Structure 1
Amino acid sequence: MAAETFVFNIAAKLLGELVSPAFQEACLVWGVESDLRRLENTLSNVKAVLLDAEDQQVHNEELTVWLGQLREVFYDAQDVLDEFECEALRKQVVEMQGSTTRKVRHFFSSSSPLIFRTKMAHKVKDIRARLDEVAADRAKFHLSLRSDDRHVVRGREMSYSFVQASDVIGRNQVKENIVEHLMGPSDGQSITVVPVVGIGGLGKTALAKLVFNDERVIEHFELKCWVCVSDEFVLKQLLVKIIKSITSENRSDLDEEQLQVLLRNNLDGKKFFLVLDDVWNEDRGNWIELRNLLIGGVNGSKILVTTRSPTIASMMGTMSPYKLEGLLHQESLSLFIKWAFDEGKERQHTNLVEIGDAIVKKCKGVPLAVKSLGSLLYSKFDERDWLFVRDNEMWKLNRKEGDILSVLQWSYNQMPSYLKQCFAFLSLFPKDYEFNTLNLIPRWMANGLLQSPNENQEPEDIGNQYIDELYSRCFLEDYIDLGYLREFKIHDLAHDLALSSAQSECLIINCQIQNISKKVWHLSYTDNTWQNENVLKCLQKSKGLRTILSMVKGVGPSTKSFVDSCVSNFRYMRLLDLSDSSFEVLPSSIGTMKHLRLLDLRSNCRIHKLPNSICKLQNLQTLNLRGCEKIEELPKDIRYLIRLRMFFMTTKQKSLLGCPSSLRRLALYDCGNLESLVETMQVCTSLRMLHIDTCGGLISLLPTLKFLTMLEVLIIENCERLDLTEMEDNQDDFPMSLRMLSFNGLPQLVAMPDWIRRSIKSLQILLIESCPNLTAFPEWLVNLESLRGLTILNCPKLSSLSKGKLCLPALRSFIIAKCPELIRRCQPKIGEYWHKIAHASDIYLDYKRIK
Structure 2
Amino acid sequence: MPAVFAANVAGKVLGKLGSAAFQEICLVWGVQDEFHKLKQVLMAIKAVLVDAEEQQMRNQELTLWLEKFKDACYQVEDLLDEFEIEALRRQVLELGNTGRKVRNLFSTSNPLAFRFRMGRKVRKTNEMLDDIAASKSKFRLHETHEVKSVLHRERETYSFVKASNVIGRDEDKENIIKFLMNTTDGEDIPVLPIVGIGGIGKTALAQLVFHDERVQMHFDLNIWVCVTEDFDVKQLMIKIIKSATGMKCKDMNKEELHKVLLNCLNGNRCLIVLDDVWNEDNKKWIELKDLLASGDEGSKIIVTTRSSNVAIITGSAPQYDLKNLSYGNSLSLFLKLAFRNGEEKQYKNLVRIGEEIVPKCKGVALALKTLGQTAFKLPNSLGHLHTLMVTSEERKASSESLIPTCISKSKHLRVLDFVESSFEQLPNNIRYLKHLRYLSIAGNENIKKIPNFIWNLQSLQALNLGLCKGIEELPKDISLVSLPQGLKHLTSLETLAIASCEKLDLCMGPEVEGMEDALPAWFQHLVSLERLVIRDCPKLPSLPEGMQHLTALKQLEIIECPALSQRCMEGTGED
TM-score, structure 2 as length reference:
0.56
User: Which of the numbers 483, 488, 507 marks the counterpart of 1:656?
Assistant: 483
> Deviations along 1:595-617, whole A, 9 cap, x unmatched?
11221111122323322321222
**Structure 2 CA distance for aligned equivalents of residues 368 and 559 of structure 1:** 38
Whether the aligned pair in 1 keeps the contact of 2:452 and 2:476 (CA below 8 Å) is yes
Classify 1:402/1:610 alpha carbon distance in 2 versus 1 (closer, same or farther; 3 Å).
same
Partner of 1:63: 62
**Counterparts of 1:189-338 in structure 2 under 5 Å?**
310=171
The equivalent residue for 1:74 is 73
Question: Secondary structure at 2:541's aligned position in 1?
Answer: coil
Find out whether 1:714 has 2:554 as its counterpart: no
Deviations 1:25-50 (A, max 9, x none): 22222232222222121111111111
Secondary structure of 1:631's match? coil
Could you tell me which of 665, 676, 691 is aligned with 2:495? 665
SS in 2 for 1:629: coil
Q: What is residue 115 of structure 2 aligned with on the other side?
A: 117
Distance, in Å, in 1 between the alignment partners of 2:473 and 2:129 is 48
Residue 310 (structure 1) shift = 2.8
In 2, the alpha carbon distance for the partners of 1:726 and 1:401 equals 66
**1:723-762 matches, cutoff 5 A:** 724=562, 728=566, 730=567, 755-757=569-571
Between the two proteins, the alignment pairs up a number of residues equal to 383
CA distance in 2, matches of 1:550, 1:313: 42
Give the aligned partner of residue 223 of structure 1.
none
Letter in 2 for 1:625: L
The CA distance in 2 between the partners of 1:553 and 1:669, in whole Å, is 28
Q: Secondary structure at the match of 2:458?
A: coil
In 2, Cα distance between equivalents of 1:712 and 1:82: 27
Using the alignment, how far apart are the partners of 1:81 and 1:686 within structure 2?
20
Moved more, 616-625 or 55-64: 616-625
In terms of fraction of residues, the more helix-rich structure is: 2
Helix, strand or coil for the counterpart of 1:67? helix
Matches within 5 A, 1:413-492: 492=362
Residue 304 of structure 2 corresponds to residue 402 of structure 1: yes
Which sections of structure 1, spanning at least 5 residues, go unmatched?
A: 152-279, 283-307, 315-361, 370-390, 409-429, 432-488, 519-540, 639-651, 717-721, 735-754, 760-851
Q: Deviations over 1:201-229 (max 9, x none)?
A: xxxxxxxxxxxxxxxxxxxxxxxxxxxxx
Task: State the Cα deviation string for residues 419-472 of structure 1 (Å, max 9, x = none).
Answer: xxxxxxxxxxx99xxxxxxxxxxxxxxxxxxxxxxxxxxxxxxxxxxxxxxxxx
Shift in CA distance, 115/687, structure 1 to aligned 2, threshold 3 Å: closer
Distance 1:687 1:123, change over 3 A: closer
Secondary structure of the residue aligned to 1:666 is strand
Instruction: Tell me which residue corresponds to 2:409.
Output: 569
Distance in 2 between the 1:65 and 1:601 partners?
37
The residue identity in structure 1 corresponding to 2:171 is P
1:258-309 superposed Cα distances (whole Å, 9 cap, x missing partner): xxxxxxxxxxxxxxxxxxxxxx975xxxxxxxxxxxxxxxxxxxxxxxxx76
Secondary structure of the corresponding residue to residue 143 of structure 1: coil
Q: 1:561 to 1:3 in 2, by over 3 A?
A: closer
CA distance in 2, matches of 1:405, 1:80: 44
Q: Once the two structures are aligned, what percentage of the paired residues are identical?
A: 36
Is 1:45 matched with 2:73? no
Q: SS where residue 519 of structure 2 aligns?
A: helix
Structure 2 SS opposite 1:393: coil
Aligned residue in 1 for 2:470: 630
User: Which aligned pairs between 1:361-376 and structure 2 lie closer than 5 A?
Assistant: none
Change (3 A) 1:727 1:58: closer
- Structure with bigger gyration radius: 2
Q: Is the 8 A contact 2:49 2:147 kept in 1?
A: no
Deviation of the 1:664 alpha carbon: 3.9
Q: Which residue identity lines up with residue 305 of structure 2 in the other structure?
A: D
The structural deviation recorded for 1:131 is 0.9
Contact 2:361 2:367 in 1 (8 A): no
1:678 aligns with 2:525: no
Residue in structure 1 matched with residue 32 of structure 2 by the alignment = 33
For residue 426 of structure 2, what is the aligned residue in structure 1?
Answer: 586
Closer, same or farther in 2 for the Cα pair 1:703/1:715, shift >3 Å?
A: closer
Shift of 1:702: 2.3
Separation (CA, whole Å) in 1 of partners of 2:51 and 2:544: 53
* Paired residue secondary structure (2:392): coil
Equivalents in 2 of 1:64, 1:107: separation in Å? 45
State how far apart, in whole Å, the 1-side matches of 2:365 and 2:499 are.
36
Residue 285 of structure 1: aligned partner? none
Distance 1:559 1:490 in 2: 24
**Letter of the 2:41 counterpart:** T
- What corresponds to 2:127 in structure 1? 129
Q: Distance in 1 between matches of 2:495 and 2:51?
A: 41
How far off is 1:581 after superposition?
Answer: 2.4
SS of aligned partner of 1:603: coil
Cα shift readout 1:312-342 (whole Å, capped 9, x = no counterpart): 999xxxxxxxxxxxxxxxxxxxxxxxxxxxx
Picking from 138, 144, 151, the partner of 1:146 is: 144
Q: Partner of 2:216 in structure 1?
A: none
Q: Does structure 2 retain, via aligned residues, the 8 Å contact 1:603–1:628?
A: yes
Task: Compute the displacement of 1:715 (Å).
Answer: 6.7
8 Å contact kept, 1:686–1:711: no
- Answer whether contact 1:585 1:609 (CA < 8 A) is retained: yes
Q: In structure 2, what is the equivalent of residue 86 of structure 1?
A: 85
* 1:547 maps to which of 375, 382, 387: 387
Q: Which amino acid aligns with 1:404?
A: R
The CA distance in 1 between the partners of 2:30 and 2:115, in whole Å, is 7
Question: Alpha carbons of 1:675 and 1:702: their partners in 2 closer, same or farther (altered >3 Å)?
Answer: same
The aligned amino acid for 1:74 is: C
Matched-pair contact (CA < 8 Å) for 2:396–2:422? yes
Give TM-score scaled by structure 1 length: 0.39
Supply the distance in 2 between the matched residues of 1:559 and 1:552 (Cα, whole angstroms).
Answer: 11
Q: Is the 8 A contact 1:599 1:622 kept in 2?
A: yes
**Contact between 2:396 and 2:423, CA under 8 Å: does it hold in 1?**
no
Task: Determine the structure 1 residue equivalent to 2:203.
Answer: none
Partner of 1:11: 10
User: Aligned partners of 2:413 and 2:114: how far apart in 1?
Assistant: 21
Cα pair 2:438 2:460 within 8 Å, conserved: yes
How big is the shift at 1:712?
3.2
Deviation by residue 1:124-166 (Cα, 9 ceiling, x = unmatched): 1111111111110112222122122759xxxxxxxxxxxxxxx
Taking the aligned partners of 1:549 and 1:689, their CA distance within structure 2 comes to 24
CA positional deviation for 1:585: 2.8
Partner of 1:343: none
Q: Which of 405, 430, 441 is residue 601 of structure 1 equivalent to?
A: 441
Q: Secondary structure at the match of 1:714?
A: strand
Distance 1:93 1:128, change over 3 A: same
The separation in 2 between residues aligned to 1:655 and 1:497, in whole angstroms, is 51
* Shift in alpha-carbon separation, 1:517–1:35, aligned structure 2, 3 A: same
Deviation at 1:81, TM superposition (A): 1.6
Please report how far the alpha carbon of residue 554 of structure 1 lies from its aligned counterpart in structure 2 after TM superposition: 8.4
Tell me the distance in 1 between the aligned counterparts of 2:134 and 2:477.
Answer: 48
| 8 Å contact from structure 1 (residues 605, 630) kept in 2 | yes
Match of residue 542, structure 2, among 703, 707, 721: 703
